[in-house]
Amino acid sequence: MTSLVDYYLLQLKSYLPAKHREDIAAELGETIRAAVEERERALGHELSDAELGAVLKGYGHPLVVAGRYLPMQHLIGPGVFPVYWYALQGVSIVIAVIGGIVAGIALLTAARPAQAALQVVADIFWTLLLASALVTLAFAVIDHARVRFRSLDAFEPRKLHSGILGVRAAPLSPISRHDTIFEVATTVILLLWWIGWLDFRTIVPSGLSVQFTRGIDPFFWPVVGVCLLELVRLGVDLIRPYRTPPRTLCRLCLNGIWLALIVLLFRADGLIEAGAALVDPGQAERAVWSMNLAFRVTLFVLGVVMAALIATDAVRLVRR
């Protein structure tokens, strides 16, 4: 009669590698049968299906048992994994930054911005997926071929301070990735608002509406351009999160441009006007006045922050 043990072994065999299937099943079958006999001797009767089931349950699911006989496998081993992980992050960040720039351009130039933006997001997703698969495949091959990274073997601690491509890094002067991500988020929000994709009119009390006048037009492209440059700079900061003099200088210059734009915006008059939705002229005047005030206060605060950042970067450069 075919017992539960036979069924168990049959299922186990289906999960085992063909080469050792019969051998392993025979050995385990012998062990299980010995255990069953031992149990029967202890109980003094032949095991019922329920008791036999309890013995087999103790061995575990055939899939789990078979899994223990499989060779230890990994796609990318621990020796290569840190380099793989770093490469994967780097490639993803580069794609995300380039994708962000392309998305920005598409939003500005496409006839149907919503559709174009969705298309860009979908493209970024598939590109990221494909790139991740290719990087994984490449590193799996590297691991399988047991390629050693000579640059890692030839690691020389005394050269750490020399930085990358001969540009000296500032030791103990890292850039926080969280800060950079926050900056990316705020820059993207600013850009989206500036090009009209985000509409904050809902925060204005019901029935009131204000908007920029044509006086803002000369500032449109400069702000878009600086935002895109900022995103590129922040992308580099994400990949290499520590300060170097060229990057400090780059940030200083960009902040200088921001400060110039802020000053020009601050000095410009009549940038905000009442929207068409307003019916009460008195109310409109008050709304425009308060929004102008809020706008100018914001610009003033931003200007102070920019000046402080410029001063900090200048001190950093001079100290080096």
Partner 1 sequence: MPPELIENLRLELRRGSLILAVLTQLHEEHYGYTLRKSLAERGLEIDEGTLYPLLRRLESQGLLTSEWREEDKRQKRFYKLSAEGQRVRDQLLEEWRALSAALDKLV
User: Looking at beta carbons only, is 65 or 288 nearer to partner 1?
Assistant: 65
What is the C-alpha separation between 87 and 144, in angstroms, rounded?
Answer: 17
Q: How far apart are CA 37 and CA 47, in angstroms?
A: 9
Of 241, 238, 216, 236, nearest to 299 by C-alpha is 216
Q: Considering the complex, state which of residue 38 and residue 285 has its C-beta at the smaller distance from partner 1.
A: 38
- Minimal distance, residue 57 CB to partner 1, in Å: 12
Question: Which residue number, 70 or 317, has a Cβ lying nearer to partner 1?
Answer: 70
Using DSSP, state whether 58 is helix, strand or coil. helix
Please, which residue, 64 or 133, has the CB nearer to partner 1?
Answer: 64
DSSP string, 109-164: H-SSHHHHHHHHHHHHHHHHHHHHHHHHHHHHHHHHTT---HHHHT--GGGGGG-B
**Nearest distance, CB of residue 31 and partner 1, angstroms:** 6
Smallest distance from partner 1 to CB 77, Å = 17
Place of tokens 């575990």: 60
CB 144 → partner 1: shortest distance, Å? 19
Rounded least distance, CB 11 to partner 1, Å: 16
Q: Which residue in 247, 238, 249, 124 sits closest to 184, CA to CA?
A: 238
Which CB, 22 or 285, lies closer to partner 1?
Answer: 22
Burial zone of 122 (CB within 10 Å; 0-12 exposed, 13-18 middle, 19+ buried):
exposed
Closer residue to partner 1 in complex, CB, 26/297: 26
Q: Is 48 in the site for partner 1 (CB under 8 A)?
A: no
d(CA 259, CA 264): 9
Q: Nearer Cβ to partner 1, position 16 or 261?
A: 16
Q: Print the binding letters for residues 23-42 with partner 1: x by CB under 8 A, - otherwise.
A: xx-xxx-xx-xx--------
Nearest to 312 by CA among 256, 265, 257, 262: 256
- Give the H/E segment covering residue 274: strand 272-274
Beta-carbon neighbour count of residue 120 at 10 Å?
20
x/- map, 50-79, partner 1, by CB under 8 A: ---------xx---xx--xx----------
Task: Report if residue 19 touches partner 1, rule: CB under 8 A.
Answer: no
CB of 20 to partner 1, least distance (A): 7
Least distance from partner 1 to the Cβ atom of residue 3, Å? 16
Report the residue from 7, 10, 14, 20 that binds partner 1 according to the rule CB under 8 A.
20
Please say whether the dihedral angle defined by the alpha carbons of residues 285, 286, 289 and 291, taken in this order, is positive or negative: negative
Binding site for partner 1 (CB under 8 A): 20, 23-24, 26-28, 30-31, 33-34, 59-60, 64-65, 68-69
